[in-house]
């Protein structure tokens, strides 16, 4: 075989020699002769990079299996190829005809016909991928939460710029959003095959594959789309080595360590773009006829493109439905994700993939966010339900922010970091929390209630130092390590936490299966602690709301003792003569101004007197 290869090389039949020698090396991988002849044939075909890769691959194999270096003849040939020795190109036959053109892959997914919005982001992406001449490979890293439309944007932009890359377009789903991401080694084999490298010529060693990939993409102007990347380590081996090609990466994390990348954050669509998307799918006539319901649908879907597309698809599949029909189905948060699925596509599955990639401690923290009363919270609240110090909860939140499951919401009134959940992610974590055992949920919420009891009592003491403390009730206090100074500025703390506190009290009434004597004690203890603060500042409607929630909770568990001795009887609260009753009992009328009307420490919008049936 080696003699036949010598004849082919001498006569200029280099392609035939390469095929024969590649097969010979596969059968006899530890013989020097086939390697030297293959390197020479490749070099004479103008494929010097591949010739050098043959040497590097052979050197690694000799070192691993024999513990020796290549022989002197091979080392000399390697150096002559590196130095482009013209003598190596001499043959005894006419010049070899040009090698056939390399494969030109065209692997892009179809563009989305009703792609809507994102005009600014598309312009930024196009500019990043087609820069002025330079020596680096442009890399666009698109990141955002699940379902926000990263893949759709990447594919749309790729089609916009594909004419700039005559070498072809490669695309791969790296599956980094799930528990089993693709190995770069395997992706390189796919890419090399798409670029025309025969399977038996693809090196086994990962470094050799990456080097051959860089050689094949050199000066070819190839566009590479790496969808759903897990991290930088998965992406780096898949980057070309020389200018001319470009890369689009999508990921849920921002990939901040990726060198030279232009990062592009994607958030939910604005309301106008959402309505245009629905009009494109459902028809402008339908959306204009039910404009109010379309706006409500956009709100319930959290302006998330995946949710909107599913909602529109379900409506389109049921022509007899009004938009209002589907809006009604989405109203209940605990069943919303059941409705947001169509065929094999669902919002819940997208979120579940992200959860499966989390370490156990972070997955538990993510689940326990469903035990908090609202989707906006501080790290201390997560620390309370987890039973950890605040610093540990902050580390868990850092991870969840990194993978776009939690959003950083700026600083609250106390100066601490605030966080929030997208509405659909909030619905998902509520499902996860509901799946926990009853005792596990009760213990976690008990810690949160205990922390609030401690903090409200301390805030009340600071704001009304002369008022004696309320009589302790059967609520076990919980001191959160690292949160001791939160109520130093009591007004700021109340401003930051009032909405969550009221929501927690209301949840004790709303969640029938969870109400027990401890929950009743929590509502009364909060009302007792806050009575003086709210009363002396004239926040009577907020005080009444707390008391009525406590009464309802007590009634729910038939706690006659608690019902007969509230911290402050509602009937003796001051009465406004002009308060409209509209069927409300005298003792339930709204007597005064709301927390929200009086400067610092006000309650959030939505705590209206009308919620009790009174005029404002």
The residues spanned by each domain of the chain are 2-89, 119-265, 271-349, 437-612
* Phi and psi, residue 611, nearest 5°: -65, -20
> What pLDDT does residue 81 have?
86
The whole-angstrom separation of Cα 392 and Cα 395 is: 5
The whole-angstrom separation of Cα 371 and Cα 373 is: 6
> What pLDDT does residue 102 have?
61
Q: Which CATH architecture has domain 119-265?
A: 3-Layer(aba) Sandwich (3.40)
Question: Do the Cβ atoms of 114 and 277 come closer than 8 Å?
Answer: yes
The whole-angstrom separation of Cα 310 and Cα 322 is: 15
The closest of 63, 13, 55, 52 to 34, measured between CA atoms, is 55
Question: Do the Cβ atoms of 463 and 336 come closer than 8 Å?
Answer: no
- If DSSP states are collapsed to H, E and C, what string results for 96-123? CCCCCCCCCCECCCCCCCCCCCCHHHHH
Q: Which CATH number fits domain 2-89: 3.40.50.300, 2.60.40.1930, 1.10.150.20, 1.25.40.10?
A: 1.25.40.10
- If DSSP states are collapsed to H, E and C, what string results for 17-39? HHHHHHHHHHHCCCCHHHHHHHH
Q: Which bin fits 569, alpha (ψ -120 to 50), beta or left (φ > 0)? A: beta
For the chain, the C-alpha Rg in angstroms (whole number) is 34
Question: Mean pLDDT per 10-residue run, the chain (616 residues)?
Answer: 71 82 81 86 87 87 80 86 80 48 84 89 94 83 95 96 94 91 95 90 88 88 96 95 93 90 95 92 86 94 95 86 89 90 90 92 96 93 95 96 94 90 95 93 90 86 74 67 86 84 79 60 77 72 77 62 44 38 34 35 34 29
> What pLDDT does residue 346 have?
92
The whole-angstrom separation of Cα 208 and Cα 211 is: 5
Question: Do the Cβ atoms of 366 and 429 come closer than 8 Å?
Answer: yes
> What pLDDT does residue 9 have?
81
Provide the whole-model pTM: 0.72
Question: Do the Cβ atoms of 173 and 234 come closer than 8 Å?
Answer: no
Residue 71 Cα to chain centre, angstroms: 53
How would DSSP label each residue in 128-195?
Answer: HHS-SS-SS--EEEEE-STTS-HHHHHHHHHHHHGGG-TTEEEEEE--TTSSSPPPHHHHHHHHHHHT
The whole-angstrom separation of Cα 37 and Cα 135 is: 34
């Amino acid at each position: 075989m080696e003699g036949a290869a010598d004849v082919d090389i001498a006569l200029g039949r280099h392609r035939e020699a390469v095929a024969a020698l590649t097969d010979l090396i596969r059968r006899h991988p530890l013989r020097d002769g086939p390697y030297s002849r293959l390197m020479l044939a490749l070099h004479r075909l103008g494929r010097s990079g591949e010739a050098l890769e043959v040497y590097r691959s052979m050197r690694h194999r000799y070192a691993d299996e024999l513990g020796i270096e290549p022989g002197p003849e091979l080392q000399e040939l390697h150096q002559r190829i590196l130095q482009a020795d013209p003598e190596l190109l001499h043959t005894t036959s006419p010049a070899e005809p040009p090698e056939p053109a390399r494969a030109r892959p065209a692997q892009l997914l179809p563009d989305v016909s009703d792609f809507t919005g994102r005009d600014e982001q598309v312009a930024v992406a196009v500019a990043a991928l087609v820069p002025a001449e330079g020596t680096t490979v442009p890399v666009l890293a698109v990141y955002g939460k699940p379902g926000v439309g990263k893949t759709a944007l990447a594919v749309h932009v790729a089609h916009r710029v594909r004419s700039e890359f005559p070498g072809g377009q490669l695309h791969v789903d790296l599956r980094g959003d799930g528990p089993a991401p693709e190995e770069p080694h395997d992706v390189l084999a796919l890419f090399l095959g798409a670029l025309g490298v025969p399977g038996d010529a693809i090196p086994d060693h990962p470094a050799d594959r990456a080097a051959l990939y860089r050689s094949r993409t050199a000066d070819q102007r190839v566009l590479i789309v790496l969808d759903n990347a897990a991290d930088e380590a998965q992406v780096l081996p898949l980057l070309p080595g020389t200018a001319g090609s470009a890369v689009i990466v999508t990921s849920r994390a921002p990939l901040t360590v990726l060198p030279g990348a232009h990062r592009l954050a994607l958030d939910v669509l604005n309301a106008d773009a959402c309505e245009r998307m629905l009009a494109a799918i459902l028809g402008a006539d339908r959306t204009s006829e039910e404009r109010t319901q379309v706006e409500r649908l956009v709100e319930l879907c959290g302006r998330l493109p995946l949710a909107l597309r599913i909602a529109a698809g379900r409506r389109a599949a049921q022509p007899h439905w009004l938009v209002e029909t589907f809006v009604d189905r989405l109203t209940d948060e605990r069943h919303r994700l059941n409705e947001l699925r169509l065929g094999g596509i669902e919002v819940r599955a997208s979120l579940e993939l992200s959860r499966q990639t989390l370490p156990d401690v972070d997955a538990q923290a993510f689940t326990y966010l469903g035990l908090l009363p609202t989707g906006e919270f501080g790290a201390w609240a997560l620390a309370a339900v987890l039973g950890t110090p605040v610093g540990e909860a902050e580390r868990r939140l850092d991870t969840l922010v990194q993978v776009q499951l939690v959003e950083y919401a700026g600083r609250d009134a106390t100066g601490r970091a605030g966080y929030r959940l997208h509405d659909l992610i909030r619905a998902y974590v509520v499902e996860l929390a509901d799946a926990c055992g009853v005792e596990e949920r009760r213990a976690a919420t008990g810690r949160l209630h205990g922390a609030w009891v401690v903090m409200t009592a301390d805030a009340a003491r600071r704001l009304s130092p002369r008022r004696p403390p309320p009589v302790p009730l059967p609520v076990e206090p919980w001191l959160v390590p690292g949160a001791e100074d939160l109520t130093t500025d009591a007004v700021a703390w109340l401003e930051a936490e009032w909405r969550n506190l009221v929501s927690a009290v209301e949840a004790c009434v709303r969640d029938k299966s969870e109400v027990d004597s401890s929950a009743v004690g929590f509502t009364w203890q909060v009302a007792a602690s806050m009575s003086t603060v709210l009363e002396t500042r004239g926040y009577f409607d907020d005080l009444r709301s707390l008391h009525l929630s406590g009464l309802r909770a007590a009634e729910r568990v038939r706690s006659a003792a608690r019902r007969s001795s509230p911290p402050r009887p509602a009937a003796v609260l001051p009465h406004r003569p002009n308060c409209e009753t509209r069927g409300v009992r005298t003792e339930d009328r709204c007597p005064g101004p709301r927390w929200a009307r009086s400067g610092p420490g006000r309650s959030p919008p939505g705590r209206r007197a009308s919620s009790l049936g009174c005029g404002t």
